[in-house]
Chains A and B, each alone.
Chain A
């Protein structure tokens, strides 16, 4: 209590992330790196963030590079597999026969963080089988339409896949699998 509080460098760095991202986009749009572009991008980034302020980035961990790389690798493989799978299902649907059956499956996430939920929803729509059609942060539940899930086995397989995906994302973000009570309370305040 009597100790002087250390300067909040982590918080400052966290707030700088969107600025860096916007400057990067600006420089990429111009295509060439020059200090004029960087300064112009900085001005635009600050203007945009002043006009449309973002909520503070949640959590306290930083990206774990190895786990993040593994998550990105798995995601890329999933993306290729899923597009080939849907392409196959689309071609099959041209043929005469009974139409493909599906399910709408509710999956409760282990993590209470809205940020993790947003990442899960974003990736779930691109990996095999699923398109998220409803997400309720207050219930921690994601509802996804699973193409081709016509029996209980396929539904169970989808639930297992969501759990794996969430574990990947949580590991990449450098959080414990089950957030500590303090972290939950902190996030629920916002």
Chain B
């Protein structure tokens, strides 16, 4: 935008920003590959939280380096912060439901300590698996 008057610093910031955006996009791409390739819902939640969040953060930082003084930079800060706060909540809720339902390949689990201690206070809709009185053996 500043044309030939662009200083070395501006070029450097733009370059770093572009590299970060490309890295972020690649990570997000791999995260979506993971959504397809991993075996069950719980494993897929890993792909939907970690590489996805970091990919988005890299894109946000890269965008901020390009925008620099624009007021929109603060919006990007908020996008990053809320992504960090909300992604684990989604993963928790989806994972909890998946474990109570059929979202888990139980044959791929080495141990399942949650299966050994079902939630007696809130057994959920699939009580048939444990029985109503749930006496430990």
A interface with B by C-beta (< 8 Å): 25, 27-32, 79-80, 82-87, 89-91, 93-94, 99-106, 121-126, 131-136, 138, 143, 145, 147, 149-151, 154-155
Contact = CB atoms under 8 A, between A and B. Distances in A.
Contacts of B91: 125, 131-132
A94 B92 contact: no
B50 A86 contact: yes
Interface in B70-90: 71-75, 77-78, 84-85, 87-89
Given A28-B74, A121-B92, A94 B37 contact: yes
Given A106-B117, A131-B91, A145-B95, A155 B110 contact: yes
Nearest to B96: A133
Nearest to B48: A131
A89 B38 CA distance: 8
28 contacts: A27-B74, A28-B78, A29-B78, A31-B72, A79-B54, A85-B50, A86-B34, A86-B47, A90-B33, A91-B30, A101-B109, A103-B109, A103-B113, A104-B111, A104-B115, A105-B113, A122-B89, A125-B49, A125-B88, A132-B88, A132-B92, A132-B95, A133-B99, A133-B114, A143-B113, A145-B43, A145-B95, A155-B110
B49 A126 contact: yes
Question: Which DSSP category, helix, strand, loop or mixed, fits chain B's interface?
Answer: helix
Contact of A93 (B37, B55, B87): B37
A125 B52 CA distance: 12
Contact of B108 (A28, A31, A101, A143): A101
Contacts of B121: 138
A99 to B, nearest CB: 4
Contacts of A28: 74-75, 77-78
B110 A83 contact: no
B42 interface: yes
Given A31-B71, A101-B108, A131-B45, A125 B84 contact: no
Contact of B30 (A30, A82, A90): A90
Contacts of B37: 90-91, 93-94
B123 interface: no
B50 A83 contact: yes
B87 A134 contact: no
Contacts of A136: 119
Contacts of A138: 121
Given A86-B50, A99-B105, A136-B119, 19 more contacts: A27-B74, A83-B27, A85-B50, A86-B46, A87-B51, A91-B30, A93-B37, A94-B33, A100-B38, A102-B42, A102-B110, A103-B111, A106-B114, A131-B45, A131-B88, A133-B96, A133-B99, A145-B46, A155-B111
A126 B50 contact: yes
Given A28-B75, A89-B34, A133 B108 contact: no
A138 B84 CA distance: 26
B123 to A, nearest CB: 13
